[in-house]
Structure 1
Amino acid sequence: MSDAPVIRGTDPHSFPHSVLAERHPALIRKVQGAFPYGPEQRRALEELLKSAVDGVVEPPDDDEWWDTWDVRRYAGRSWFDLPFLAAESCFYRRLLHAVGYFRPGPWQGVDPFRPFKLAELDTPEAAAELTALDALAEQPPREQLRALLHGSLWGNRADLGFRIQSAEETETASQLVADDTEQLTSLLLGADVLCLVADNAGRELIPDLLLIDHLLAHGLIDRAVLHLKPYPYFVSDATTADTLDAVRHLVAAEAAAGHRLWSALSDGRLALRAHPFSCAPLPYADMPDDLREEFASADLTVLKGDLNYRRLVGDRLRPPTTPFASTTAYFPGPVAALRTLKSDVIVGLAEKTEDALVKAEGRRWRTSGTHALIQVRP
């Protein structure tokens, strides 16, 4: 189904259009209020604000990223006409350029999203999630693993994280539109090397780290490789700095997992990767050879979150019943997706599941964040 239409924001009533027309301008205002940027940065942010709403894509002359990923060809086109994945990527790159993230100077390397990421760690909900670990430790190891998988899946859904209930009782089970939990558990139990491609920082990264800690601490895997963004990307995407913040948070909270993760980082049982392709406006089908070799060397790769899912299956409007296995057949090794639905892309659904969702919610189920999936291609 490579001829499936690429998702764009041209339809004023579409989800991508709302992101480009509403979410991006709101984010610029939020970033403006988070730092005392000087006149140069504030002027550049105002220019980007005008461009994002009424203007066209204007790549900076001094930024090679646009050439590396062949997106300078979009210059002069409306943001809404671009493929949605490219439009979002170009927007965030322009935002980083506007605040001077890449240029020599006092603002170089200052993450414009850092205050929002850190704030998520310092909340009652985050503390409650860590408290829940005590009760979780009393459960059988396989139930612990299942709960941690679902905690990682739902990310910041604190009311669902680490909840141990039967499938008939749990709200999570009723909201999974595809559930390969048992198959994923079996693959994890047979893996020596696990690659986990992270999604967001803050509270959403903590469950990912706790899952890795559980697998390492119980000897279920020998080594984990955590793939991160090399620099800030879609608002809260996790970087190395964000990962260290999360581990320090666990250590400060006197969670045993924090000390174990620190040790695992030190001795190499937990390795960090930050490949440039992680910030490319391209699907994983176009990954470079070195990244392909890394994924091929793992016994299992787990991709977290909505953006990684879009890149895994392609940001296209395929029929929801398109098989997940055939869509990901190019991937160099066993692959799994843990994703809360926050965009239009979806594959691998049973026909009766799609029919029930459409009947109950129209198209809203695709983007509301109230549904999720666990999909596996061995």
Structure 2
Amino acid sequence: ASTSVIAHIDDDGGPDIATWRDLLEPWVGTTWLDAPWLLIEFYFYRRILVAIGYFDPSSPLFNYDPFAADKMNGLRAGASAAASLASKANAFAKRSKSDDASLAEELRLFVMVALWGNRMDLSIWPESGAKGDGANRASEAFIEALNAGEKSLLWDDSASVAAKLA
């Protein structure tokens, strides 16, 4: 990454070429480490689409998603964790404001999930040949990410937010 130079994406028939031209223009000629992380993450995946000929009707990999199987495995593995969180969110939305301790605790959970969600995003995808089922791995990753996040917090005002909402 420190020697990889950002270049415009050649017109490969994709509908997003003009958008990519605008996004990359300030960074063309610099290294991948110079540009914002999120831009480079998306750029990396877009370059994969170029490499496989995703937008080229003459390519054997035309419209082929090389990550489809991983996405589906992640979706399946994360379903139970998402259902559990959705259940908590529904209960939270219906709860009366009289149960302050519970309100504060659940609000904090949702703040932490929002804060550390990206860390959980890829870690819920089952590993090839991993022991146990994907749902267990998803739950473990969810808990690991939240616990690891606790140590990384610089400041936690969730109790103050809960008090304002009560």
Measured against the shorter chain, the TM-score band is 0.3 to 0.5
Q: RCO (CA 8 Å, sep 6+): is it higher in 1 or 2? A: 2
TM-score of the aligned structures, taking structure 1 as reference length: 0.24
Higher helix share: 2
